[in-house]
Amino acid sequence: MEKETKLEVLHLLEENARRSPAMIATMLKMDEDEVRQVLEEFERDRVIVRYSALVNWDKVDQNRVTAVIDVKVTPQRDVGFDAIAQRIYRFPEVFSVSLMSGVYDLQVVVVGTHIREVAQFVSEKLSTLEHVTSTTTHFLLKRYKWDGVIFDDGEQDQRLVITP
């Protein structure tokens, strides 16, 4: 199968993980078994690492706090940022860790039930790690759009009105 076709399979799944192999096969005019084989290959090679749903937590959960923490670290000889990133992502509070360009080295996203819980994580666990030189914490107040999906219920028609 062509690389471009495999990428189309990935794009369709990324857009909606509930699409079945049969549906994808129909959409791409392919054989269903061929799609299943591609998906198995992607899963085996960890190209697809998980299937998930995008949830608007503001609609269902009032006890959820998300913080984005910028972290400056001193890279370690022979392992760079990888070793400290690994130590950080092993904490259960940590949702994600990314290496960034710019002023800060790592972006850490933490999810907790209260601001105090996140503050305690930063002050007692994160900032005390060897090689962490500084942190800046930003609390997520409202999510308007995530992963290409607009969360606002009252989305207005953005087309321009044409009058004669």
What are the DSSP E strand ranges found in 16-73?
A: 65-73
d(CA 107, CA 98): 5
Rounded Cα gap, residues 6 and 39, in angstroms: 9
State how far the Cα of 131 lies from the Cα of 157, in Å rounded to an integer. 50
* pLDDT of res. 163: 66
pLDDT for 146:
86
Reading the block at residue 63, the tokens are 């006890």
**What does the pLDDT profile of the chain (164 residues) look like in tens digits?**
688 899 999 999 999 999 999 999 999 999 999 999 999 999 999 999 999 888 888 888 678 999 999 999 999 888 889 999 999 999 999 999 999 999 999 999 999 999 999 999 999 999 999 999 999 999 999 889 988 888 876 655 556 667 66
Q: Report the Cα 42 to chain-centroid distance in Å.
A: 19
| Secondary-structure class of domain 57-142 per CATH | alpha beta
**pLDDT value at position 151?**
85
The residues of the chain that CATH labels 1.10.10 are: 3-44
Query: What is d(CA 155, CA 24) in angstroms, rounded to the nearest whole number?
Result: 29
User: Which CATH number among 1.10.1740, 1.10.3470, 1.20.120, 1.10.10 corresponds to the domain 3-44?
Assistant: 1.10.10
pTM for the model:
0.80
Span(s) in the chain for CATH 3.30.70.920? 57-142
